[in-house]
Amino acid sequence: MQRAIAPPALLAAAAVAFAAGCGGGEPPTRAEYQESVVATRDDVDAALASITQASSKDDLLERMESAGARIEREADELGDTTPADGFEDENDELEDALHQLAVDLTTTADQIRRPDVGLEDLMAGARGLSFESWTQADRVLARLRQQGVRVPPLARH
């Protein structure tokens, strides 16, 4: 039985694909990184804003869980992003804050569903959704702004 030998062009293409998959490229520029962070921020903000459109308690809880799942995906994507040089810490901290925000949203929805804790109990004196993880994400975004990355804060909804 004779073994087939791959043509040199095929081997070269496979080597380039392998190298690209191993992160052999240059880190993104500050402008490219800014674009990535702004897109993440905008998607997270849209997820949070969707919660305010709830028409009932059940709809609110579904929207909170959906927003938590969407924010979790955004955090994962941010974690897969190579930051521009000098932004590694901020990227990691923002990823962590967004993961925690996703957990906070879904956990709060779960707590509201408990029969011994109602929405009224959790919302007493509240003026909207606010979590420490949300504040932490905004702190990281503020540090990025101080370093020249033009990214708005998360809006309060």
Counted domains in the chain: 1
Q: Is residue 102 part of a domain?
A: yes
pLDDT recorded at residue 17: 36
State mean pLDDT over 109-116: 86
Q: Is residue 9 part of a domain?
A: no
Tell me the per-residue pLDDT of 43-70, one tens digit each, with 9 for 90 and over. Answer: 999 999 999 999 999 999 999 999 999 9
Q: Is residue 3 part of a domain?
A: no
Q: Is residue 137 part of a domain?
A: yes
Instruction: Give residues with Cβ within 8 angstroms of 111, minimum separation 6.
Output: 117, 122
Instruction: Give residues with Cβ within 8 angstroms of 49, minimum separation 6.
Output: 155, 157
The conformation of residue 130, written as its DSSP 8-state character, comes to: -
- Element (DSSP H or E) covering residue 132: helix 132-146
State mean pLDDT over 70-78: 98
pLDDT recorded at residue 109: 93
The residue range of the domain holding 104 is 27-146
State mean pLDDT over 25-40: 95
Q: Is residue 63 part of a domain?
A: yes
pLDDT recorded at residue 21: 40
